[in-house]
Structure 1
Amino acid sequence: MNNNYHIGTVGQPWTTAEKAQWLSEQKIKRSFFNDVLPIIEGLDAYFDIEQYGELNYDPICGKVYPLYAVKSRNWQYDKPTVLITGGVHGYETSGVHGALRFLQTSAVAYSSQLNILVLPCISPWGYETINRWTPAAVDPNRSFGSDGKALEAQQVRQYLTSLKQRFALHIDLHETTDSDNSEFGPATAARDGKENENWSIPDGFYLAADTERPSPAFHKAIIDSVARVTHIAEADENGELIDEKIQQFGVVSCPNASMGLCASVSDAPLVSTTEVYPDSPRTTPEQCIQAQLAAIEGALNYLLQQSSADIS
């Protein structure tokens, strides 16, 4: 059993006391209000900005976090609609800043042909504490099912339901980090009273497809786009990435809905989860952001090409 984590008793799930101990150890390390919110607010000349919820964590850290969606102007229901989500895991930095970079650069050009909806930082407390979980020790990216416990996920689901909008595409921006093995994996095992098994972290960018919506040509288009700015993870000697068989170069697959992943939050036929490896000696923080941007643009270009083919 996991005996490497410093909280809890081996083989026993955490109680309220262990979760409280874990929460007491979490510290603010960077600022959503300085790093992220000003960029969102600065987009109001070109986009509609909607506050879809808030997280009242005042008793925990003295802060109330507003949750924002950024929408393209002149929304037209006859255009394809795309959803881009970032910061489901707040510690995955390029997910947040990749979504913001897209809004700052190419999003306006794409909005002439697409309705664009971006939720750039779903877990702002996680961003500030460089954390995978919510303050309640819940993984928001296992909480997008109807019984999900994370407030972050619940408010996204409620907002999207209120829009009554069908999505053509959803891309969810993530990272796989060394801290998944050094901190977050052992903590999860300890929390659940299970044995911890570290996984082999790939060096490079890869994608997680949805088992129910595989779309191999779509994923190839994203991989080809990202390969222009950074390296793609190679499969290991077993033909695997993160202990999963590859479906094609740089792509694995998992059942999004049964796992409660953010990528299951819509019924978009085109769906993908990006995974950037920021700890690689072969990349930089800026390249990680560029990889997320390239993934978004590769996905949207594929959608537009398919739409043009359908029309012709």
Structure 2
Amino acid sequence: MTDAPYPIGTPGRPWGAGEVAAWRSRQTVQRSYKTDVLSVIETLRSRFDVSEYGRLDYAPDSYPLFAIKSRGWRDELPCVLVTGGVHGYETSGVHGALQFVDRHAADYAGRVNLIVAPCVSPWGYERIHRWNPDALDPNRSFRDDSPAPESAALMRLVAPLRDRVLVHIDLHETTDTDESEFRPALAARDGKAYEPGEIPDGFYLVDDSEHPQPAFQRAIIAAVAKVTHIAPADAKGEIIGSPMVAPGVIEYALKPLGLCAGITGAPYKTTTEVYPDSPRATPEQCNAAQAAAVCAAIDFALAHPAVASAGR
């Protein structure tokens, strides 16, 4: 960690087009969306329906966006939405979503309609970054007339189903680079002073403060605790600046903040946060934790249909 100013921009002054261009010029491809993600999706086509729901044209690159859906979709069944890679750098969100489809989705055939968007932000995935090329955070951009094409494309995909979704689980990570790069960059972009925070060691969830479902969150935490450790609160009783309302659970106002987990009317919704930099967690554990969270979310919702009906 350093107290030196962020290398782009003037302290106290929000970025303009020149600063955004300078920032974008520093971002380099570090991994391949085609190799890591699209090749895996191809292997799933024999068992699931795969559709292209949009395309991101960021010259010279172009990225097709794919959704994986249950084969034999039945309109009378509830829908489960799983999203990953809204922040492209959050690796287990992408690969945990794909692992869930490969290893667990068949368990829910005939019980729910699944729709999985495993990598919402492929430009960010390749560059291991939180933002899109315009220095916009897709996970603060899920609103009408979204300025982020990644967010707008997903909202168009979900729009016909938004009032039929039973569960939406959005898969994320909190990493050490949140403090070393992404929050300092955010402060610089917005012309604000950077205030250091504390990265929690372990898995946690973000519930919807406007429509909380504490029993649902507890069930996910209990399932994930069998796979990896749960984040404790800090000395203030908080996780990343928000009060911990239950072990491993905080709350945000999902829809007003433009967060992905707020894009449907689902009575059961949550955002997962895996900590991949922990010495106590391997990449395999991180992916497994995401998949376990999805399974636990669906299992709980199917076991509590009366609560679901009341919330819709």
Shorter-chain TM range is over 0.9
**AA matched with 1:66:** P
The corresponding residue for 1:28 is 29
Q: CA offsets per residue over residues 21-55 of structure 1, 9 Å max, x none?
A: 00000000000000100111111111110100000
Cα-to-partner distance string for 1:51-80 (whole Å, 9 max, x where unaligned):
0000011x2xx2210000100011112111
Q: TM-score, structure 1 length as denominator?
A: 0.95
Could you tell me how far 1:310 is from its partner in structure 2? 8.8
The equivalent of 1:16 in structure 2 is 17
Correspondence 1:160-179 to 2 at 5 A: 160-163=158-161, 166-179=164-177
Query: 1: CA distance between counterparts of 2:165 and 2:290?
Result: 20
Q: Which amino acid aligns with 1:25?
A: R
Q: Name the amino acid aligned to 1:241.
A: I
Taking the TM superposition and a 5 Å limit, the aligned residue runs for 1:50-199 are: 50-57=51-58, 59=59, 62-163=60-161, 166-199=164-197
CA distance in 1, matches of 2:129, 2:307: 43
C-alpha contact (below 8 Å) 1:87/1:174 kept by paired residues: yes
Deviation at 1:309, TM superposition (A): 9.2
- What's the counterpart of residue 7 of structure 1? 8
Segments ≥4 residues shifted beyond 2 Å: 162-165, 307-311
What is the number of residues matched between the two proteins? 307
Give the deviation of 1:148 after TM superposition: 2.4
Report the Cα distance in structure 1 between the residues aligned to 2:161 and 2:146, rounded to whole angstroms.
20
Q: Is the CA contact (8 Å cut-off) linking 2:49 and 2:71 kept in structure 1?
A: yes
Report the counterpart of residue 219 of structure 1 in structure 2.
Answer: 217
Q: CA deviation at 1:128?
A: 0.3
Q: For residue 285 of structure 1, what is the aligned residue in structure 2?
A: 283
SS at 2:65 equivalent: strand
CA distance in 2 between counterparts of 1:238 and 1:310 reads 34
SS at 1:257's partner residue? coil
Matched-pair contact (CA < 8 Å) for 1:204–1:233: yes
Secondary structure at the aligned position of 1:4 is classed as: coil
Q: 2:253 aligns with which of 247, 250, 255?
A: 255
* Aligned-partner Cα distance in 1 for 2:79–2:109: 10
Q: 2 CA distance for matches of 1:140 and 1:36?
A: 19
2:268 and 2:308 in contact (8 A); partners too: no
Determine if the alignment matches structure 1 residue 246 to structure 2 residue 247: no
After superposition, the C-alpha distances for 1:118-159 in whole angstroms (9 at most, x for unaligned) are: 000000010000000000000000000114211000111112
Cα distance in 2 for partners of 1:289, 1:104 equals 12
Q: Which amino acid aligns with 1:46?
A: R
CA gap of 1:71–1:263, structure 2 versus 1, over 3 A, is same
For 1:40, the equivalent position in structure 2 comes to 41
Which stretches in structure 1 are left out of the alignment for 5+ residues? none
Of 105-114 and 12-21, more deviation after overlay is shown by: 105-114
Please name the residue that 1:269 is paired with. Answer: 267
Distance verdict in 2 for CA 1:147–1:85, change over 3 Å: same
Q: TM-score, normalised by structure 2?
A: 0.95
2:166, 2:308 within 8 Å by CA — same for their partners in 1? no
1:111, distance to aligned residue in structure 2 (A): 2.2
Q: What value does the CA root-mean-square deviation take over the aligned residues?
A: 1.5
| Unaligned runs of at least 5 residues, structure 2 | none
Deviation at 1:213, TM superposition (A): 1.6
